[in-house]
Amino acid sequence: MSNPSLEADSSELSLGDHHIDFVEETEKATSVPVTAATPISIPAMLCDEKLLEEINAIPDKMGFKIGDVAEILGIKQYVLRYWETEFEVLRPKKASNNQRMYTRKDVENALLIRKLLHRDRFSIEGARNAMKELKAHVRKEKDMTQVYHKLEGINEAVEDLILDIRRVRQIFK
């Protein structure tokens, strides 16, 4: 089971900082091996080696200016500003001087958007829908993980009860 620690907002689509631990079916659905470097919240079928390399090549900084992000993505700044209007997951914070400040997660999401639009040839609408499906996938996976952990706890409690019953039986034999 995966163990995403994501919020239910746009940050839910974070691609890094954590690592994927998808169930076996996900690993079988892709030709890209799932490794410790694979981002957490991107299904392996959307991920390819080039995207992983690009994500791993992102400089380790607290914040990125729009020019930095545009350079990393190999696109113009106006394209990035346009994507902000089209994709809710791409909403950088504004610094006190009103300059956009992107987080690493924003850069990772922008890399995924660029992959969907440029390499996978999605339309804006298609990429937006794919991002929405990804968000739903992440949310569902998070829910399944929580249920799994609750079931693990219940299973441990049942095993403890069984041991207690066996001890009581031994006492009364």
pLDDT digits (tens, 9 = 90+) for 117-168: 999 999 999 999 999 998 888 899 999 999 999 999 999 999 999 999 999 9
Question: Which pLDDT score is estimated for 46?
Answer: 76
Q: Say which CATH number the domain at 146 has.
A: 1.10.1660.10
Residue reference for tokens 């639009």: 117
Closest CA relative to residue 106, chosen from 135, 57, 66, 142: 66
Q: Which two tokens stand for residue 72?
A: 């990393």
Q: What is the pLDDT of residues 71-98, one digit of tens each?
A: 999 999 999 999 999 999 999 999 999 9
Closest CA relative to residue 116, chosen from 104, 102, 134: 134
Contact between residue 110 and residue 69 where contact means Cβ atoms under 8 Å apart = yes
Q: Is residue 155 part of a domain?
A: yes
For the cut 80, the answer to whether the pLDDT of residue 22 exceeds it is no
Q: What is the pLDDT of residues 96-120, one digit of tens each?
A: 999 999 999 999 999 999 999 999 9
**CB half-sphere exposure, 1, CA atoms < 13 A:** 16
Q: By three-state DSSP, how is residue 102 classified?
A: strand
Q: Is residue 84 part of a domain?
A: yes
Query: Residue 44: pLDDT band by 50, 70, 90 thresholds?
Result: low
Q: Is residue 59 part of a domain?
A: yes
Question: Which pLDDT score is estimated for 135?
Answer: 87
**CA 117 – CA 11 distance, rounded (Å):** 20
**CA 143 – CA 31 distance, rounded (Å):** 26
Beta strands in the chain (DSSP E): 93-94, 100-101
* Residues sharing a CB contact under 8 Å with residue 78, sequence separation 6 or more, in sequence order: none
Q: How many domains does the chain have?
A: 1
Q: Is residue 127 part of a domain?
A: yes
Question: Which pLDDT score is estimated for 42?
Answer: 67
Question: Which has more confidence, 40 or 147?
Answer: 147
Question: Which pLDDT score is estimated for 6?
Answer: 37
Contact between residue 87 and residue 128 where contact means Cβ atoms under 8 Å apart = yes
Question: Which pLDDT score is estimated for 48?
Answer: 87
Q: Is residue 2 part of a domain?
A: no
Q: Is residue 3 part of a domain?
A: no
* Range(s) of the domain holding residue 150: 10-171
Per-residue burial over 52-73, b = 16 or more CB atoms within 10 Å of its CB, e = otherwise? bebbeebeeeebbbbebbbebb
Q: Which amino acid is at 119?
A: R
Q: Is residue 43 part of a domain?
A: yes
For the cut 70, the answer to whether the pLDDT of residue 31 exceeds it is no
